[in-house]
């Protein structure tokens, strides 16, 4: 049964008219409070994943739990539906178990803290934030085992608990949790930092209420949700057709040698309601690549995608959720049944953005993005240094952002716009690592009128013996291009041993032994191109060559010929473009670089890795 809220003085809020100036002040005060939450967290957390890369997501919600300001949203609804207990003043809740909160978080590393905010005996809002803990136990350092078959192998599971009850910390529970981590002090510090950020939001909401009154603040929050609904409703009617549209994409493998796995989705509009149906998606995997996709979370993804694509000035919140209907079949790779493993769900999480781009692009091709939000690559490195002290690195890598209607995709950027890179100086100071190369991979962005962003090559030289884990995708399938744009390059991982030998590593692997002096070349994928590359200005191609983003050989994919001095040969360029135009096949909306079967047939020659085995028997077992 759903959670029960206990209020000392329960009474309904009075909806009042909020003038535009007051509404603007309250909106900006809430935005600032959300930014302050980040500042508190990043200045007090210890793990580089949160402190440096900002792998944490804050929100402030109204009394119903609808996010009014934030980045990820959708926490409170799933929690309240899955929590069978009371919610009282002074309580602070903690969970990391996706199956206990209807997928409000999607793997165990994400510790979700939720704080109901009370004023004068009744609930007036919520503050919430989750952060990725570097380690929560499990079978491998980092707690993200690629070959886990059940969630029990991935670390400690925390059902929704009152980590603070009536304002008092339950120290025994906290000690139990940090005891199950290989880096307990990081977890303790990060947890305290998340709680402190939520308490900051609580103080700011109380200050607003003291200034404007509780009914004015509550009404302003509702006005902000209503305004979002109107704006999103207009976008939905503009870009989503009534005719059914279908799109499918794949994650390449499951870390156990099987794949690809298909994600299928149909989209259509009935009146003002957009309907997404994931019928046709492959059954759940035996490994940890499953993604328990909460329907509310998918709506959040869609809102973030549409707002960033069409009007970043729209305040992102949960106001539009009733305009979206989502159906995800049970026991699929997007709706696995407990105790299916979930730790490596990042690949599917990233692929959902490509799916949305493929669906929405068919309704508005001129506004379509190419593929490139394709993954969030991870590297983990751990062991004991020469002093006998444990070290453990968790780092998120960056890839190429897709070419867009408005211009080129950024090179080497993050799936999440708020993520930042860990400075190389930080890594070299705190871990036995040397970054010997950090560069954009020339020609990895898909050619187009607007070029896809290049991937990144980072060369990690290990200074101590240890183990590494790698999580990535798009090593078999390409980040596709649109509107005549070509696909981006695929990812690869090369380990060059200190003895001179080399080995190509799978995109998903654990427990890879490394020795002092070994170098890992961690190469990520590029974004797909947008539009006809033969229409790209030769001057822009020349600029890209000068910047090291495109090579003279790669320029010929744009039909551009450059001389030895790297100046453009205009006459030869015009002739080459005529020849390429006459020879190329009819243009399609999407360019995937070949069918899955064709890519598997060419796999070993092109990727240095054997093709994944068919997961058909997994479908039968499911």
513 in Cβ contact with 464 (< 8 Å) = no
* 344 closest CA partner among 446, 219, 473: 473
Measured CA distances, 41 to 15, 36, 45, 381, 598 (Å): 34, 9, 6, 24, 47
Q: Locate tokens 């509310």: which residue?
A: 296
340: tokens are 């299916």
Which alpha helices (DSSP H) does 240-384 contain, by range? 295-310, 346-363
Per-residue model confidence (pLDDT) at position 79: 85
Which alpha helices (DSSP H) does 48-128 contain, by range? 48-51, 75-82
Q: What are phi and psi of 490, to 5 degrees?
A: -90, 165
Residue ranges of the chain whose pLDDT lies below 70: 1, 73-74, 415-417, 616-622
Q: CA-CA distance, 596 to 614, in Å (whole number)?
A: 11
- Could you give the 3-state DSSP secondary structure of residue 100? helix
Q: CA-CA distance, 340 to 380, in Å (whole number)?
A: 23
Q: CA-CA distance, 158 to 83, in Å (whole number)?
A: 12
Per-residue model confidence (pLDDT) at position 620: 47
Per-residue model confidence (pLDDT) at position 616: 54
350 in Cβ contact with 250 (< 8 Å) = no
Per-residue model confidence (pLDDT) at position 305: 84
Per-residue model confidence (pLDDT) at position 617: 43
Q: At what angle do helices 184-212 and 171-179 cross, to 10 degrees?
A: 140
């Amino acid at each position: 049964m759903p959670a029960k809220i206990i209020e000392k003085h329960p009474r309904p809020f009075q909806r009042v008219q909020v003038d535009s100036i007051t509404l603007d002040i309250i909106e900006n005060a809430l935005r600032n409070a959300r930014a302050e939450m980040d500042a508190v967290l990043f200045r007090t957390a210890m793990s580089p994943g949160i402190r440096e890369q900002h792998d944490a997501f804050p929100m402030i919600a109204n009394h119903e739990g609808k996010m009014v300001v934030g980045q990820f949203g959708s926490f409170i609804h799933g929690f309240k539906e899955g929590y069978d207990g009371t919610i009282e003043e002074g309580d602070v809740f903690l969970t990391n178990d996706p199956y206990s909160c209807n997928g409000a978080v999607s793997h165990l590393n994400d510790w979700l803290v939720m704080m109901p905010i009370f004023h004068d005996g009744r609930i007036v809002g919520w503050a919430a934030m989750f952060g990725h803990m570097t380690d929560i136990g499990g079978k491998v350092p980092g707690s993200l085992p690629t070959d886990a078959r059940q969630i029990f192998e991935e670390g400690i599971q925390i059902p929704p608990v009152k980590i603070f009850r009536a304002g008092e910390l339950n120290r025994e529970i906290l000690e139990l949790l940090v005891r199950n981590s290989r880096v307990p002090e990081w977890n303790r510090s990060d947890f305290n930092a998340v709680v402190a950020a939520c308490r900051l939001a609580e103080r700011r909401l109380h200050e607003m209420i003291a200034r404007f009154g509780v009914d004015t603040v509550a009404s302003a929050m509702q006005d902000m949700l209503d305004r979002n609904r109107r704006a999103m409703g207009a976008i939905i009617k503009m870009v989503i057709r009534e005719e059914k549209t279908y799109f499918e994409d794949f994650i390449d493998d499951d870390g156990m040698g099987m794949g690809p796995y298909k994600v299928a989705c149909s989209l259509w509009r009935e009146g003002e309601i957009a309907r997404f149906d994931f019928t046709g998606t492959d059954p759940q995997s035996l490994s940890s690549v499953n993604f328990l996709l909460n329907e509310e979370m998918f709506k959040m993804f869609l809102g973030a995608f549409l707002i960033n694509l069409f009007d970043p000035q729209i305040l992102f919140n949960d106001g539009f959720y009733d305009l979206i209907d989502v159906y995800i079949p049970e026991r699929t790779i997007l709706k696995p049944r407990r105790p299916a493993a979930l730790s490596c769900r990042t690949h599917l999480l990233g692929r959902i953005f490509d799916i949305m781009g493929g669906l929405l692009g068919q309704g508005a091709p001129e506004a379509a993005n190419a593929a490139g939000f394709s993954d969030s690559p991870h590297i983990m490195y751990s062991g004991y240094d020469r002093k006998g002290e444990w070290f453990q690195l968790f780092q998120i890598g960056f890839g190429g952002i897709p070419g867009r209607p408005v211009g080129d995709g950024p090179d080497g950027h993050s799936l999440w716009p708020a993520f930042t890179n860990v400075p190389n100086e930080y890594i070299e100071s705190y871990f036995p690592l040397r970054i010997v190369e950090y560069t954009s991979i020339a020609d990895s962005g898909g050619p187009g009128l607007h070029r896809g962003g290049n991937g990144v090559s980072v060369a990690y030289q290990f200074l101590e013996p240890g183990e590494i884990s790698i999580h990535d995708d798009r090593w078999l399938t390409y980040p596709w291009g649109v509107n005549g744009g070509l696909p981006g390059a695929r990812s690869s991982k090369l380990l060059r041993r200190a003895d001179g030998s080399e080995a190509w590593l799978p995109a998903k692997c654990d427990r890879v032994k490394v020795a002092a002096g070994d170098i890992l070349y961690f190469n990520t994928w590029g974004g797909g191109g947008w539009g006809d590359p033969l229409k790209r200005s030769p001057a822009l191609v020349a600029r890209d060559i000068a910047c090291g983003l495109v090579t003279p050989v790669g320029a010929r994919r744009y039909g551009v010929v450059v001389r030895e001095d790297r100046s453009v040969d205009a006459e030869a360029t015009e002739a080459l473009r005529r020849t390429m135009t006459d020879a190329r096949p009819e243009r399609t909306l999407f360019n995937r670089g070949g069918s899955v079967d064709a890519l598997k047939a060419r796999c070993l020659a092109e990727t240095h890795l054997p093709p994944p085995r068919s997961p058909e028997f997994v479908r039968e077992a499911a």
